[in-house]
């Protein structure tokens, strides 16, 4: 059993990332897409924290920033979603195709 | 001063009578109608006498000053009020009406419901109410068996109200109200028998011809307002006499000529006299009151009222004199041969009005007014007498069917004879004094042209005597020419008709004595009484180098000159010659009698009988009744031609321009739609649209699709960096497969789920 090293973290993060990407690409519910985006961000956070073990605290500081950013993004995203829901009464991305125009 | 300060009651009393008739007349008994309508006019007469009596006291205290009583300010503000003003309903808050006078000065426009009493209006006031009251009394007998009794008296009272407003007004605007009012009543009363087409036509004719005159009056009024900045008689007179205006001032000339157009309409002068003979379609008392004694003298009144202006315009004065003289002889010559008794009197009225204007035109204002005064009595008497004759003759008006009535209706006969003496100018009856004064004034006026006016007046006097005695002899003497049935019914009129005749006969005898001339040992009180109104004009005339026309005192020496006695003798001689000629021709007139003029000069007789074909001429020139084919002649024809020109040429041009515009618009629109829009805009747009389809396939607006493309791009870069291109294509293929499968599944679900 090799000790748990940086690579392990990276693999877990990569798995998380891919899961997030697949969630973003395949799920129809915006809330779940937002959750998947959180997964992606947290995969990145995991990477940052893992690398901070090798190169100092910058990574952890960045991770804090990313968490803050994620919170803000979730807030804004959910706010837009609520506003949109009031207009369209749907959270299904397939029906949110206004960008086409 | 109770009468003077309540002078506004004088017009109001008949107005109340008229209002009563309007609202309740239909339901009232004849006796009630008599009490209200006749009573109101008699009351007005009593008030008028009282007012004039008190005015003489007033004028003794304020020599030469007219009495003004402004009841309230009707238009504009009341700051110019000079008299007693018990009622000021709007006071200071009423907005001012400002207009600019000719010299750019802003003047507040003001017209009051104000009453002015001076010698001039006193005279009119007295004879209008006096003669009016007598004619009202007469009408109760004359109209006793007619329908529309209350309507008749309502109109008469309304007329009295309007006429009294006209003569008591203290400004031109209020005067115009009365002026229009009497015109309306004239129309209503001429058309009293409206079921008769000739009556309603005559009423329309009178109304329309009067409108022409009224337009002149209005324009003259506007000119005065613009030039003097005021329409009050006292102010305008004061300004005109102030010496700021030159004699012959063109604008004053224009204003006075325009006023004279108004006078021509109302007082039946050439060329607007044509309505008056036709006005005889009305009931006879109406002819007496409106179309002989009172209303038709309104033009004379207006000119006399504006004497200060007319004196400043010698051209206008000449026009007035010439028109007056021409009208006098013109109408008299027509009167020579007419057979309808009222028509003779109508032409006589026109002729006498011509005399009055002749007097005014030569500056003899007092003489003109004097003739109005005497004429009111004897012409009213003649008309009422003719009414009595018609009454006796069961409605017959043609003198050819009369004759030998003098024993059957003696009172009518004698009173009418007195009036005939008066109008013919036989002393000592009223007409002699006034007519002689006019002839003398015409003679003694400046220049040879005025001598010609005298000659015209003299010949007219001869004609007047002839046609009047012709009327008398044909009616009352000669052989009876009526049918037996009519003859059987002849009766003297009731007391209500004969008493006014007798009173008027007394007046027609004595009225002239008021103006007994100096040359015959009198004192010419009438002219003295009028002096405050006209005296200054004498001075102006003298200043201009003309012999004074007006104040008798100024020319007292002249007045007693042998020429005057000679002229007097000549005019009396003319009257007696006319009498004699008529006596010789008609004394024994039997059925089929011969008109002397027709025997001697048939062509002349024809022309005179057809009234110089003036009405026919007007048909050619003015009314448009004459046609050539379908085209009217004269003014109306010109109007129709202009209308045709308008609707065909002008409108055609307009329509053509419209059509061209519309056509070019269609063309432009087509060009715009097919060439600009179609070719230049839509084609490139469609090309780009078509070319954009491939790209649009990729851009269908789904966020996740974009994300997928991004991920594919990312994967591509990662694979290329790691040298794993095969893996990348495998990935792409996998994704495509998934996508196609997904789309297919979704399509099928959509298709079959519902």
Any CB–CB contact under 8 A between B704 and chain A? yes
The larger pLDDT score, comparing residue B93 to residue B290, is at: B290
pTM for the structure as a whole: 0.74
Given this model, what pLDDT does residue B661 score?
Answer: 95
**Per the CB < 8 Å rule, is B702 touching A24?**
no
Token output for B609: 């009988």
Given this model, what pLDDT does residue B549 score?
Answer: 42
Whether residue B550 has pLDDT greater than 50? no
Cα separation, B342 vs B350, in Å, equals 12
Residue appearing with tokens 């008599």 = B34
Given this model, what pLDDT does residue A1 score?
Answer: 65
Burial B198-234 (b: 16+ CB within 10 A, else e): ebbebbebbbebbebbbebbbbbbebbbbbbbbbbbb
Q: How many CB atoms lie within 10 A of CB B668?
A: 11
Q: Which residues contact B252 (CB under 8 A, 6 or more apart)?
A: B227, B240, B245, B309, B312, B313
For B182, which DSSP code?
H
Summarised one tens digit per residue, pLDDT across range B468-482 is: 999 999 999 988 888
Q: Which of A21, A31, A77, A88 is most worth mutating to test chain B (most B CB atoms within 10 A of its CB)?
A: A21
∠ CA(A86), CA(A87), CA(A90), 5° rounding?
75
In order, the DSSP letters of chain A are -PPP-HHHHHHHHHHHHHHHHHHHHH--BHHHHHHHHHHHHHHHHHHHHHHHHHH-THHHHHHHHHHHHHHHHHHHHHHHHHHHHHHHS--BGGG--GGG-
Alpha-carbon separation of residue B232 from A87, B79, B113, B235 (angstroms): 80, 13, 11, 5
Any CB–CB contact under 8 A between A93 and chain B? yes
Token output for B522: 């009198």
Any CB–CB contact under 8 A between B57 and chain A? no
Size of interface A-B (CB pairs under 8 A): 25
**Per the CB < 8 Å rule, is B701 touching A99?**
yes
Cα separation, B433 vs B367, in Å, equals 9
Any CB–CB contact under 8 A between B711 and chain A? yes
In order, the DSSP letters of B310-377 are HHT-HHHHHHHHHHHHHHHHHHHHHHTT--BHHHHHHHHHHHHHHHHHHHHHTT-HHHHHHHHHHHHH
Side-chain-side CA neighbours of B230 within 13 Å: the count stands at 16
Whether residue B93 has pLDDT greater than 70? no
Cα separation, B177 vs B71, in Å, equals 16
Nearest CA in chain B to A101: B701
Burial B394-404 (b: 16+ CB within 10 A, else e): eebbebbbbbb
- Given a contact cutoff of 8 angstroms between Cβ atoms, the answer to whether B37 and B154 are in contact is yes
Q: Which of B702, B710, B731, B736 is most worth mutating to test chain A (most A CB atoms within 10 A of its CB)?
A: B702
Average pLDDT of chain B? 86
For B37, which DSSP code?
I
- Given a contact cutoff of 8 angstroms between Cβ atoms, the answer to whether B75 and B44 are in contact is no
Instruction: With CA atoms as reference, report the closest residue to B440 among B538, B333, B363, B345.
Output: B363
Q: Which residues contact B514 (CB under 8 A, 6 or more apart)?
A: B370, B373, B525, B526
Mean local confidence (pLDDT), B383-388: 93
Any CB–CB contact under 8 A between B710 and chain A? no
In order, the DSSP letters of B542-572 are HHTTSPP-S-GGGGHHHHTSHHHHHHHHHHH
Chain B residues closer than 8 Å to A98 by CB = 701
Cα separation, B291 vs B276, in Å, equals 7
Whether residue B640 has pLDDT greater than 80? yes
Whether residue B553 has pLDDT greater than 80? no
Nearest CA in chain B to A24: B704
- Given a contact cutoff of 8 angstroms between Cβ atoms, the answer to whether B393 and B476 are in contact is no
Residues found in chain A: 101
Chain A residues closer than 8 Å to B701 by CB = 97-101
pLDDT band at B560 (very low <50, low <70, confident <90, very high): low
- Given a contact cutoff of 8 angstroms between Cβ atoms, the answer to whether B306 and B255 are in contact is no
B501: helix, strand or coil: helix
**Per the CB < 8 Å rule, is A25 touching B699?**
no
Q: Which of A38-52, B182-196, B736-750 has the lowest mean pLDDT?
A: B736-750
In order, the DSSP letters of B196-207 are SHHHHHHHHHHH
Phi and psi dihedrals of B106, rounded to 5? -75, 130
Any CB–CB contact under 8 A between A24 and chain B? yes
How close, in Å, is residue B706 to chain A by CA atoms?
9
- Nearest by CB to A25, from B700, B701, B707: name it: B707
**Per the CB < 8 Å rule, is B701 touching A24?**
no
Token output for B337: 């041969």
Summarised one tens digit per residue, pLDDT across range B488-541 is: 888 888 898 999 999 999 999 998 888 888 777 777 788 888 887 886 555 555
pLDDT band at B557 (very low <50, low <70, confident <90, very high): very low
Cα dihedral value B576, B579, B585, B589, nearest 10: -150
Chain A residues closer than 8 Å to B704 by CB = 24-26, 33, 93
Q: Which of A42-46, B95-99, B725-729 has the lowest mean pLDDT?
A: B95-99
Cα separation, B157 vs B138, in Å, equals 14
Q: How many CB atoms lie within 10 A of CB B243?
A: 9
- Given a contact cutoff of 8 angstroms between Cβ atoms, the answer to whether B533 and B575 are in contact is no
Q: How many CB atoms lie within 10 A of CB A81?
A: 17
Q: Which residues contact B630 (CB under 8 A, 6 or more apart)?
A: none
**Per the CB < 8 Å rule, is B704 touching A25?**
yes
Reported ipTM: the value is 0.81
Residue appearing with tokens 């007519």 = B435
> Are β-strands B97-100 and B106-109 bridged in parallel, bridged antiparallel, or unpaired?
antiparallel
- Given a contact cutoff of 8 angstroms between Cβ atoms, the answer to whether B627 and B633 are in contact is yes
Whether residue B638 has pLDDT greater than 90? no
């Amino acid at each position: 059993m090799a000790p748990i090293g940086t690579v392990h973290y990276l693999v877990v993060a990569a798995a998380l990332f891919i899961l997030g990407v697949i969630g973003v690409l395949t799920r129809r519910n915006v809330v779940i897409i937002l959750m998947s985006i959180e997964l992606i961000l947290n995969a990145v956070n995991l990477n940052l924290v893992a690398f901070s073990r090798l190169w100092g605290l910058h990574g952890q500081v960045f991770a804090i920033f990313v968490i803050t950013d994620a919170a803000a993004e979730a807030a804004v995203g959910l706010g837009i979603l609520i506003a949109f829901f009031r207009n369209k009464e749907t959270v299904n991305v397939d029906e949110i195709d206004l960008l086409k125009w | 001063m109770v009468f003077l300060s309540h002078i506004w009651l004088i017009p109001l009393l008949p107005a109340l009578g008229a209002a009563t008739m309007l609202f309740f007349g239909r339901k009232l008994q004849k006796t009630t109608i008599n009490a209200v309508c006749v009573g109101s006019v008699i009351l007005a007469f009593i008030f008028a006498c009282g007012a004039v009596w008190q005015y003489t006291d007033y004028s003794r205290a304020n020599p030469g000053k007219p009495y003004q009583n402004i009841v309230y300010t009707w238009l504009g503000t009341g700051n110019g009020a000079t008299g007693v003003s018990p009622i000021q309903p709007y006071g200071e808050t009423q907005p001012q009406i400002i207009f600019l006078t000719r010299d750019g000065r802003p003047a507040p426009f003001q017209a009051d419901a104000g009453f002015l009493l001076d010698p001039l209006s006193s005279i009119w006031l007295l004879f209008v109410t006096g003669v009016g009251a007598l004619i009202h009394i007469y009408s109760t007998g004359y109209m006793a068996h007619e329908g529309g009794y209350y309507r008749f008296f309502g109109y008469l009272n309304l007329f009295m109200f309007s006429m009294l407003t006209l003569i008591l007004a203290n400004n031109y605007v209020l005067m115009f109200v009365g002026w229009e009012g009497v015109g309306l009543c004239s129309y209503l009363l001429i058309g009293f028998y409206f079921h008769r087409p000739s009556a309603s036509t005559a009423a329309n004719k009178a109304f329309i011809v009067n409108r022409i005159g009224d337009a002149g009056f209005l324009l003259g009024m506007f000119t005065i307002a613009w030039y003097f900045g005021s329409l009050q008689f006292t102010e305008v007179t004061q300004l005109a006499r102030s010496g700021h205006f030159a004699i012959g001032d063109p604008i004053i000339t224009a204003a006075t000529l325009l006023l004279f157009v108004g006078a021509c309409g109302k007082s039946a002068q050439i060329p607007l006299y044509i309505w008056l003979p036709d006005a005889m379609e009305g009931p006879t008392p109406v002819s007496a009151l409106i179309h002989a004694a009172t209303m038709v003298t309104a033009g004379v009144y207006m000119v006399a009222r504006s004497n200060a202006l007319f004196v400043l315009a010698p051209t206008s004065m000449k026009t007035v004199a010439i028109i007056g003289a021409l009208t006098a002889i013109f109408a008299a010559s027509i009167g020579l041969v007419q057979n309808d008794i009222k028509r003779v009197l109508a032409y006589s009225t026109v002729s006498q009005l011509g005399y009055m204007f002749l007097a005014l035109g030569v500056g003899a204002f007092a003489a003109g007014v004097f003739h109005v005064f005497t004429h009111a009595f004897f012409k009213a008497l003649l008309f009422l007498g003719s009414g009595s004759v018609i009454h006796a003759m069961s409605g017959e008006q043609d003198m050819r069917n009369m004759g030998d009535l003098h024993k059957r209706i003696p009172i009518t006969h004698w009173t009418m004879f007195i009036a005939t003496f008066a109008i013919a100018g036989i002393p000592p009856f009223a007409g002699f004094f006034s007519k002689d004064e006019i002839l003398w004034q015409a003679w003694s006026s400046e220049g040879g042209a005025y001598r010609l006016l005298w000659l015209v007046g003299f010949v007219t006097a001869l004609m007047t005597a002839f046609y009047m005695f012709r009327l008398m002899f044909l009616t009352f003497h000669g052989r009876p020419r009526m049918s037996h049935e009519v003859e059987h019914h002849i009766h003297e009129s009731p007391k209500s008709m004969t008493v006014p005749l007798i009173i008027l006969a007394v007046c027609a005898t004595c009225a002239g004595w008021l103006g007994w001339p100096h040359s015959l040992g009198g004192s010419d009180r009438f002219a003295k009484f009028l002096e405050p109104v006209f005296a200054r004009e004498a001075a102006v005339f003298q200043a201009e180098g003309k012999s004074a026309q007006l104040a008798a005192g100024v020319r007292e020496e002249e007045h007693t000159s042998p020429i005057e006695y000679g002229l007097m003798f000549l005019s009396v001689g003319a009257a007696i010659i006319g009498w004699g000629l008529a006596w010789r021709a008609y004394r024994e007139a039997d059925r089929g009698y011969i008109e002397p003029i027709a025997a001697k000069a048939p062509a002349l007789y024809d022309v005179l009988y057809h009234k110089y074909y003036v009405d026919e001429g007007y048909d050619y020139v003015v009314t448009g009744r004459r046609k050539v084919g379908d085209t009217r002649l004269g003014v109306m024809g010109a109007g129709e031609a202009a209308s045709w020109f308008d609707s065909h040429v002008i409108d055609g041009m307009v329509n053509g321009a419209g059509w061209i515009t519309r056509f070019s618009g269609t063309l432009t629109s087509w060009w715009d739609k097919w060439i600009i829009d179609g070719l230049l805009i839509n084609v490139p747009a469609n090309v780009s649209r078509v070319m954009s389809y491939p790209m649009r396939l990729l851009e269908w607006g789904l966020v996740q699709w974009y994300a997928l493309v991004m991920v594919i791009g990312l994967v591509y870069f990662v694979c290329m960096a790691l040298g794993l291109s095969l893996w990348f294509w495998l990935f792409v293929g996998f994704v495509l497969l998934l996508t196609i499968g997904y789309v297919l599944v979704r399509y099928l679900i959509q298709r079959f789920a519902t």
